[in-house]
Each structure stands twice: as structure tokens, then as C-alpha cells.
Structure 1
Amino acid sequence: MRGRLAALSGAWLAFEDEAGFSMTPPQAKTWSQRGRTPVVRVRGRSRRRVSIAALTWYQPGHRSRLIYRPRRDYGQRDGRKSFSWRDYRDLLITAHQQFGGPIALVWYNLNAYKAADLRRFTQGRDWLTIYYLPPCAPDLNPVEGIWSLLRRGWLSNVAFSTPEHLVQRIRRGLRHIQYRRGPTR
């Protein structure tokens, strides 16, 4: 019933997910001359990583949208590696400011999403309705496909020199995905 009400009220349907990317490049297949195996040299394993939270937005009659925010981890022992409830709150506020209307948000049962402070924040917003995906159901979240496209394309076989280089490559790949033309009918 709540889902139908959200659709009838003109709400944006939003899916959210977070992924982590390390300085070590994902491997992908490539072509080379026979007998010459391509080798990508990497300086060593790095503990530095980047987390990205992304929201995809859908509404009938509108083009789908993508909003993302990076969060760098500089390898500090007691530093937080993933997004906190405040980061998710700020992302939701930014999204609401951009699109204006009500939001039906779909996300996983992650502990950070169920934090007491984030729960209080979401309950106090009449423009936000939250739905939880069942555990172990990544195929229901379209953001998972975005991470797959990034890893197989824009980030594969690249030796990153600095965390900024990694973030730049992620942003470039996300912009390419974001503004890519859909199939024509």
C-alpha cells in the first residue's frame, strides 16, 4: 500500500548502495601479441581505499539520475573506512534539495542505515519513505550494476599512482555512466 501511495504522489524511486575501491587494480582480460603476456606493475598493496555511496533515481516520464559521493580512507588505524550515518543523512538532504519532491528510498539492511540517529532523522521527514531489500539480494538493486560496470571497464587494468588518481578515474567512469545515452526505441 505504501509503495502505491509513493508512486501516486509522484515520488522519486531511489536505490542506494556503497562500494569500496582499493588502489590495487581489478584484473580484466585484454589482447596482446602471441607470446607476450601484458604485465601491469603495481607498487605494492596499499591500505588506502575510497568508498563511494551512490543513489540512482527513477520517476516515470523522467530520465534516470545518479548522485554519488566519495569518501577517502587514508589508512589511519582508528579512522572510519565506510560512510557514517551523517554521510548518508547529508546525501539524502542533497538529493532532496536537487529533486524537490517526495522520495521512496530502497536500501539494504545495513547497520549504518539502522543507526538510531539516522532512524530519528528519517522518521522526522515526511518527504522520505524507506523500504528495505531482503538480505543477499544484490540483483534487486540497480546500483550494483553500476559498480560492476566501473570495475570491468573504467578501473580494470589501471595502476593507480595516488588515491586522487583513483577518485578521478571513478568520477570519470561514473560521469560516463551517468550521461550515457540509453537504448533508442
Structure 2
Amino acid sequence: MQAAELFQQRIKPLEVARQLRTSRKSAYQRHRLWREGGREALASRGPGGSRCRLSLRCLEKLAAYLEQGPAAHEWVADQVWTAARVATLIGRQFHVPYSVSGATRLCTGSASARRSPRGGLPSVTSRP
């Protein structure tokens, strides 16, 4: 919204970039959006990225599965949840493909903590 105020004052995009400590490219993109749609065009559209592919119910089930421990899901060598194991578990239980990085984001709370009444999923280790 600061950019919109500056553009309304006829301040050039390069100066807006300097004042707001952003890139020239970003300032020019914002200026174009502002010209085409006004202040509303610069309003936040919320967090970027794709949405969680699991429903709230599935997230709750996943949390319960993770609390059972790896041995309950055929990983008996060690009792550590890894992101790779969580991704595999999601595929097995919910038939939804998840990448290792997606499972990591899910378990660090960036996706699940906002949706799960339990406050997120148990953490996983970073090793594969």
C-alpha cells in the first residue's frame, strides 16, 4: 500500500524501489498493476504456494498415524520419522503423492498448524 501512495504522488518506480528497499523489477510490476487496477490491485492475495492436498480430516488422521510411531507402519530399523517416510506414509494411507520437501513443510507447521486443531504434526528429522 505504501507503493500505491507513492505512485499517487507521481513518484517514479525507481525511486519507489529505493524508498521501499525492493527491486526495480518489483517496483515496475507494482506500478503496472497500480496503473491497471488502482490501489486494490496491490492488495495482498494471501500466502503464495499451493494449498495442502490433505483435508483437515486427513491431517488429523496423519497426526494420529505419526503418533503411533514408525514401527506401527513397518519401519522397525529405527524409531525416527523422516520426511521421506512421512511422504511414503501419506501416499500409502491417502493415495496422495507428496514430495519429501512437501512432507517437510507439512510437518514443520507451515501447512498443517493453520489447519489442524491439534496445532500441527509431530516434527520429522531432515535426513532422508
TM-score bin, normalised by smaller chain: under 0.3
Structure with the larger helix share:
2
* TM-score, normalised via structure 1 length: 0.21
Q: Highest Rg: 1 or 2?
A: 2
Structure with the larger strand share:
1
* TM-score, normalised via structure 2 length: 0.27
Pick 1 or 2: higher relative contact order, CA cutoff 8 A, min separation 6: 1
